[in-house]
Amino acid sequence: MCQLQVVRFGFLITILQICFISGQNLPYIACPHLFQYLEHNNEYIGHLQLVLDNESTDNVVRVELSHPGRRTPSSPGTLNFLENEESLKDRLSNNQPINYRIDFPTPGVVPKLTKVSINGDIVCQANPFGSPSSRLSLSRTLRMIVPLASLPTPERIQPPQWSQNPQRNWTGPSQEQEPPQILRPQQPPPRPRPQPVPQLPQEPRFETTARPPIPPLIPPVQITESVPRTIGQLSGVCGREKTIQTPFIHNGIEVERGQLPWMAALFEHVGRDYNFLCGGTLISARTVISAAHCFRFGSRNLPGERTTVSLGRNSLDFFAPGQTSGVSLLLLHQDYNPNVYTDADLALLQLTETIHFSDYVKPICLWNENYLLDLPSGYKSYVAGWGEDEKGNRNTRLAKMTDTDIITNSECRGNLSEENARFITSHTICASNSKASGPCSGDSGGGLMLQEQDIWMLRGVVSAGQRMTRGCNLTLPVIYTDVAKHIEWLLRSMWF
């Protein structure tokens, strides 16, 4: 007896006409608790329910079917999720079964399920049909690319919950090829927060416009006549480090105070606390550049006035020597779009205080036409920040830095799945490190830096990377928004 049922999976509502048949004309099912044949539009489909490993970096589901007859189908069929992204994340995190739909390739012919594996472990197996028959193979993988802003602190997450991912297309991949790779977000276990700041919930509702008229600044900007007022004047002071006793050592070594004096730490005011948000880079006495997704992403909408900028410190401690400023105006790039956020993932912060330059606080230089625009593969660059370390600590108390090699966009695409490769555009730049060191969660907004004849220059802003269950997969490239490709907007928009 057939009945019409409404099957609800998260926010996705699928109406299927389902008949649970005793199996007169259907193949034997070795694992009926995992798999069923359903009748849909007078044809059969497969319904698979699997509990995936929420501690695994990737969840790879592979299905094999035995197709009767001498003719091998031109396509093996399709294996798709029956749930949308929000439902998938919820069910995965709560160890609930994930629902898959299998569409068979030949109308009127029902293949036999012969194998199901999760991450290489076989969970169902049966003998194939006898000859003549052919084997069909399908697969689906969950992996994701995420912004590298700070992960949320569990105890601070309050309804509404901030999600962690950009919007993605969950349409089914072609089979027998690696599908779009989406990695679910994971949160490391809570740990004591560095003083005085923990992590903040992120991911925000995007909303951006062209540059608004500058309102009266509250508090007013302090004007100092001696500060550089043009790019030409800045070129005389920018990009020069204080003399450091130890050399620049790579592979995640702590930054000394006075090294990279343009590094900025951004904090969000939450009650009486200041929660570490993202990295940033000082580019003038009144401007810090960071990543737009730190402020606008999903349902998140962080105003500039709730942001504080720390300068001249290699630690996250406000009580250490350095300078602190509020933010009078937050300006996002007008082309910022969370669907492909890496393309213009830029935010400018106008500081309420005019910064006094010293050995410990100094702007970095910006790209100009005297330098290469298209960098060759292997070109040395550097990145630094306070983000998550290799031990899973949410922040490092002292900033760390490492070198990383530029790779071309074509090389970068070749190292990422088709789904993640769409985040590589003509306005992004990729870098990779053979030692698997580099930026992770909490390092978003920091600078990708080049050292040109002892002068430091900002080339990119940390935007996105591959998140793993614990930590980041730095064997794969990190994507930066290319500041050089947005230089006209930057020079037109920054404050002196």
pLDDT in tens, 259-297: 999 999 999 988 878 889 999 999 999 999 999 999 998
Residue 13 pLDDT greater than 60, yes or no:
no
Average pLDDT over residues 119-131: 92
Is 24's pLDDT higher than 50? no
Quick check: 67 and 133 in contact, CB under 8 A?
A: yes
HEC-encoded secondary structure of the chain:
CCEEEEEEECCEEEEEEECCCCCCCCCCCCCCCCEEEEEECCEEEEEEEECCCCCCCCEEEEEEEEEECCCCCCCCCEEEECCCHHHHHHHHHCCCCEEEEEECCCCCCCCEEEEEEECCEEEEECCCCCCCEEEEEEEEEECCEEECCCCCCHHHCCCCCCCCCCCCCCCCCCCCCCCCCCCCCCCCCCCCCCCCCCCCCCCCCCCCCCCCCCCCCCCCCCCCCCCCCCHHHHCCCCCCCCCCCCCCCCCCEECCECECCCEEEEEEEECCEEEEEEEEEEEECCEEEECHHHCEECCEECCHHHEEEEECCCECCCCCCCEEEEEEEEEECCCCCHHHHHHHCCEEEEECCCCCCCCCCCCCEECCCCCCCCCCCCCEEEEEECCCCCCCCCCCCECEEEEEEEECHHHHHHCCCHHHHCCCCCCEEEEECCCCCCCCCCCCCCEEEEEECCEEEEEEEEEEEEECCCCECCCCCEEEEEHHHHHHHHHHHCCC
181: pLDDT strictly greater than 60: no
Full set of structural domains in the chain with CATH: 3-142 (no CATH), 366-485 (2.40.10.10)
- Average confidence (pLDDT) over 157-168: 30
Instruction: State residue 116's pLDDT score.
Output: 96
Residue range 468-486: average pLDDT? 84
pTM reported for the whole predicted model: 0.59
What integer pLDDT is reported at residue 35 of this predicted model?
96
Average pLDDT over residues 372-389: 91
pLDDT at 425: 95
| Confidence band, pLDDT 50/70/90 cuts, at residue 147 | low
Is 378 a residue whose pLDDT tops 80?
yes
Strand-pairing partners, residue 14, are: 7
Range in 67-71, 344-348, 391-395 with the lowest mean pLDDT: 391-395
Point out the least confidently predicted range of 6-15, 65-74, 76-85, 449-458. Answer: 6-15
Could you read off the pLDDT of 297-323 as tens digits, one per residue?
888 899 999 999 999 999 988 888 899
Q: What is the pLDDT of residue 430?
A: 95
What pLDDT, on a 0 to 100 scale, did the predictor assign at position 49?
Answer: 95
- Per-residue pLDDT band for 90 (boundaries 50, 70, 90) equals confident
| Contact yes or no for 233/354 (Cβ under 8 A) | no
C-alpha pair distances (Å), 126 with each of 65, 115, 465: 10, 6, 40
CA distance 111 to 135: 9
Cis preceding-peptide flag for 160 (omega within 30 of 0) = yes
Average pLDDT of the segment spanning 178-186: 31
Instruction: Note the pLDDT of residue 127.
Output: 94
The confidence band for 114, taking pLDDT boundaries of 50, 70 and 90, is: very high
Please name the residues in contact with 185: beta carbons below 8 A apart, sequence gap of 6 or more: 89, 144, 146, 151, 163, 164, 165, 467
- What is the average pLDDT value for the chain, to the nearest integer? 77
Tens-place pLDDT, residues 36-73? 999 877 889 999 999 988 766 568 899 999 999 988 89
- Lowest mean pLDDT across 17-31, 104-118, 200-214: 200-214
Supply the pLDDT for residue 439. 83
Q: Please, are residues 489 and 333 in contact by the beta-carbon 8 Å criterion?
A: yes
The pLDDT assigned to 75 comes to 86
Once rounded to an integer, what is the mean pLDDT over residues 102-110?
92
pLDDT in tens, 459-471: 999 998 876 656 6
CA geometry: angle 332, 333, 337, nearest 5 deg: 95
User: Pseudo-torsion of CA 410, 412, 417, 418, nearest 10°?
Assistant: -30
Comparing CA positions, the residue from 260, 267, 302, 304 lying closest to residue 282 is: 260
Quick one: pLDDT at residue 389?
74
Tokens found for residue 409:
């966009």
The reported pLDDT for the residue numbered 217 is: 33
pLDDT value at position 243? Answer: 63
In the prediction, which pLDDT does 45 show?
Answer: 93
Residue 144: what pLDDT? Answer: 54
Asked if 246 and 258 touch (Cβ cutoff 8 Å), the reply is no
Give yes or no for residue 107 having a pLDDT over 60: yes
pLDDT of residue 159: 27
Residue-wise pLDDT tens digits, 405-418: 999 999 999 988 88
pLDDT category of residue 230 using cuts at 50, 70 and 90:
confident
What is the arithmetic mean of pLDDT over 112-120? 93
Tokens 């401690």 correspond to what residue? Answer: 317
**295 Cβ partners below 8 Å, 6+ apart?**
204, 301, 302, 303, 304, 307, 330, 332, 347
Q: What are phi and psi of 77, to 5 degrees?
A: 100, -165
Instruction: Give which of 154, 304, 336 is closest to 217, Cα–Cα.
Output: 304
